[in-house]
Structure 1
Amino acid sequence: MPTEVALLESRALRDEQLGRVDVLDKVKSLALLPDGIHVRTEDVARYFEVSTEVIKKVTFRHRAEMEESGLTVLRGSELRVFQRDMQSLWGGGQESYPQAATQLRLYTRRTVLNVAMLLRDSDVARCVRTYLLDAEGELRTQYASLDRRVTRIESCLSGVGSALQELGPVLLRMSERLDSLDRRVEVTHQVIGAMSLRLTDVQQDVVRMDARLNCFGRQLKELRRRGGRR
C-alpha cells in the first residue's frame, strides 16, 4: 500500500487517485462557482485553509500536471464570456460576481484533489491524503478477499474436473449400453410389426374360413331338407 510520502513524491501514484474526487467532500465542503464545475484560486486556498500564494506556488511548480488534471487559465475574450455566463448564473447584477483583472485560473474538482496530493503544509490536504490511502487500503483488502474466493472456486472446479475425468469411462460405457438397448428395442419393434401383419393375415383367413363354413352349413341343411321329402 502506498504511503503519504510516496503519494507526495510520485506523480504516477497521484494520477491513479485522480478519480477519487468524492474524498474532497468527506473532509469538508468545496464551494464551487455557479456553473457547478469550477473553483477559483481563492476558493481552493479557502478550502485548504492556506494563502492564495501557497496555492499559486504549488500550481506554478506542477503546472503541466495541473493542466492535465483540469487547470484552465482564461484571458481576453474567453474570460469576458465566462464572466458574463457566471453573472447570468449568479442571478445578480454587475457586482454580484467578482471580476478578474486580466486573467482567471479555474480549477476542477480533479485539480483540487491534485493540489491536495501535493500540498504539504495543510492539515486539510493531509486529511484528504489519509482518506485516499485508507480507501486504497480498503480496496486492496477487498481485492485480496475476492482473490481468495476466486482461488477457492478454482480449487473446487479443479476437483469437479477430476471427478468428471473419472466418470468419463463410466459414462462412456453407459452410453454404449444405451445405444445397444436402443438397437434391441428397434429390432423388437420390427418383430412386433411383422407379427401384427401376420395376425392381420390370419384374421383374414379366419374370416374366409368362417364364410366357407357358413356356406357349407347352408348346403348341408338343404340336402337334409331334400332327403326328408323323399
Structure 2
Amino acid sequence: MPSEIALLESRAMRVEHVGRVEALDKVKALRLLPDSIHVSTEGVARYFEVSTEVIKKVTQRHRDELTENGMRVAKGSDLGKYQRDSLSLSSESEGSYPQRRSSLTLFTRRAVLNVAMLLRDSDIARRVRTYLLDAEEGRREGYASLDRRVTKLEQCLAGVGTALQELGPVLERMSQRLDSLDQRLDATNRVVAAMSNRLCELSDGMVRMDARMDDFARQLRDLRRRRRR
C-alpha cells in the first residue's frame, strides 16, 4: 500500500487518484460557487481550514499541475462575464472577497482534490488522503480476491476439460450406436411399408373375390327359380 508521504511527493501517484473527487464529500461538505462547478481560493481555504495565504503558496508552487486539473484564473472580460453569469453583483456569494477585483482563481473539484494531496499541514487534507489510500487498499484486496476466484474457476474449468476429453471416446461410441440404430430403424420402416403395400393388395383381392361370390350367388338363385318353373 503506498504511503501518505509518497502521495505528497509523487506527482505520478497523485495523477492516479485525482479523478476520485468523491473523497472530498466523504470527509467534509465542499461548498461550490453558484455555478455549481468551481470553488474560489477562499472556499478552498475554508474547506481545508487553513489561511488563504497557504492555498496561494500551494497554487504558486504547483500551478502547472493544478491547471492541468481545471484550475484557472479569470481576468478582465472573462472575469466580468463569469461574475455576470454566476455571481450576484449585489451581494458576495461567499462573503470573503470584494466585488471589485482584478482576477479570480477558480478551482474545479479535481483541482481541490489535487490540493488535498499537496497540503501537508491540514487535518482535513490528511483525512482526504487517508480516505484515498484506504479505498485504494480496499480495491487492491478486492482485485486480489477476484483474482483468486478467477484462478479457482480456471482450475475448475481445467478439470471439466479433462473430463470432457475422457468422455469423448464414450460419446463417439454412443454416436456410432445411434447411427446403427437409425439404420436398423430405416430398414424396419421399409419392411413395414412393404407389408402395408402387400396388405393393400390382399384387401383389393378380397374385394374382387367378394364381388365374384356375389355374382355366383345370383346365378345360382336364378338357376333354382328356372327349375321350379
Residue 94 (1) aligns with residue 102 (2): no
What residue in structure 2 maps to residue 72 of structure 1? 72
Secondary structure of the residue that 2:80 maps to in structure 1? helix
- Give the aligned partner of residue 5 of structure 2: 5
TM-score if structure 1 supplies the norm length?
0.91
Uncovered stretches (5+) of structure 2, i.e. residues with no partner: none
Is 2:176 the counterpart of 1:180? no
* Structure 1: segments with no counterpart, 5+ residues: none
Residue 149 of structure 1 is matched in structure 2 by 149
Quick one: structure 1 residues 121 and 103, their matched pair in 2 at CA, closer, same or farther if it must change by over 3 Å? same
Instruction: Say if 1:15 and 1:56 are closer, same or farther in 2 by CA, change over 3 A.
Output: same
Mapping of 1:113-132 within 5 angstroms? 113-132=113-132
2:12 maps to a residue whose letter is: A
Question: Shift of residue 220 of structure 1?
Answer: 3.0
Give the partner amino acid of 2:167: L
SS at match of 2:105: strand
Aligned partner of 2:128: which letter?
V
Q: Which residue of 2 aligns with 1:40?
A: 40
Q: Secondary structure at the match of 1:8?
A: helix
4+ long deviations beyond 6 Å: none
Q: Which secondary structure does the structure 2 equivalent of 1:221 belong to?
A: helix
Encode CA deviations 1:122-179: one digit per residue, 9 max, x unaligned. Answer: 1111111111111111111111111111111111111111111111111111111112
Q: Deviations along 1:1-32, whole A, 9 cap, x unmatched?
A: 21111111111111111121111112222221
Q: Distance in 2 between matches of 1:103 and 1:165?
A: 75
Matches of 2:126 and 2:200, distance apart in 1? 101
Classify 1:200/1:191 alpha carbon distance in 2 versus 1 (closer, same or farther; 3 Å): same
Residue of structure 2 in register with 1:165 after alignment? 165
| CA deviation after TM superposition for structure 1 residue 44, in Å | 0.9
Deviation at 1:69, TM superposition (A): 0.7
Change (3 A) 1:96 1:119: closer
Q: 1 CA distance for matches of 2:18 and 2:207? A: 100
Q: In percent, how many aligned pairs have the same letter?
A: 65
Supply the distance in 2 between the matched residues of 1:183 and 1:124 (Cα, whole angstroms).
Answer: 83
Distance 1:27 1:11 in 2: 22
Contact persistence 2:116–2:126 (CA under 8 A): yes
SS, match of residue 120 in structure 2: coil
Match of 2:140 in 1: 140
Q: Is the 8 A contact 2:92 2:99 kept in 1?
A: no
Q: Name 2:57's counterpart in structure 1.
A: 57
